[in-house]
A and B are shown apart, each in its own frame.
Chain A
Amino acid sequence: KQEVTQIPAALSVPEGENLVLNCSFTDSAIYNLQWFRQDPGKGLTSLLLIQSSQREQTSGRLNASLDKSSGRSTLYIAASQPGDSATYLCAGGGSGTYKYIFGTGTRLKVLA
């Protein structure tokens, strides 16, 4: 049974810092890996999708990578801003599995 753990559970950093969020899967057979952002009281916004044939995706200050051999993904946020404060969730699955399994989330607070 797939389980997804995110470390750290919470993180507080000063503005401008570069930071790394981690996501690990117990079953490394992952088809797709998606990173989401969730603001308080809101739904989930998709940030990056790493497809089955890919190892990395970039969007602006965000970079996500996936190491299938170890079942680990990282989300790198460069030059963090207060507006980046949110909960970040990783999810693995898709491509015919009809299921995305979510991680436990990392609550990020970027201080001005």
Chain B
Amino acid sequence: DTAVSQTPKYLVTQMGNDKSIKCEQNLGHDTMYWYKQDSKKFLKIMFSYNNKELIINETVPNRFSPKSPDKAHLNLHINSLELGDSAVYFCASSQVFFGGERLFFGSGTQLSVL
């Protein structure tokens, strides 16, 4: 039973195409995230959603459009892909509990734009 699952695991596409990455969590968490990990392995937050509402958008180009149909799902659609979009994209979820909040990650989607 995968707690946070994202598909596809690998995505290879041409510049200018539009693609989507799907994410689902079965932990009952209220908050979901998209992170981008660049070639230097640095993880940077892109978006966070709480109960389907966008909370944080970290100056991500508007070619990236997250969508949360319900609090268990957070998908990422990318329009007009560029070479610089090549990275590993991670979905994550979290829940506040008794003063703490643990982050759980999916296994990542490696996007290669040719």
A interface residues with partner B (beta carbon < 8 Å): 31-32, 34, 36, 38, 42-46, 49, 51-53, 87, 89, 91, 94-96, 98-102, 104-105
B interface residues with partner A (beta carbon < 8 Å): 31, 33, 35, 41-45, 48, 50, 55-56, 90, 94, 96, 98-108
- Main DSSP-derived SS at the B contact region: strand
Whether B50 lies near A98 (C-beta < 8 A) is yes
Residues of chain B contacted by A96 (CB below 8 angstroms): 96
Nearest Cβ distance between residue A51 and chain B, in whole angstroms? 4
Whether A44 lies near B100 (C-beta < 8 A) is no
* The one of A49, A53, A99 that contacts B102, using a Cβ cutoff of 8 Å: A49
Q: 20 pairs across A/B with beta carbons < 8 Å? A: A32-B100, A34-B103, A38-B41, A43-B90, A43-B106, A43-B107, A46-B103, A49-B100, A51-B98, A91-B103, A94-B94, A96-B96, A98-B50, A98-B55, A100-B45, A101-B45, A102-B42, A104-B42, A105-B41, A105-B42
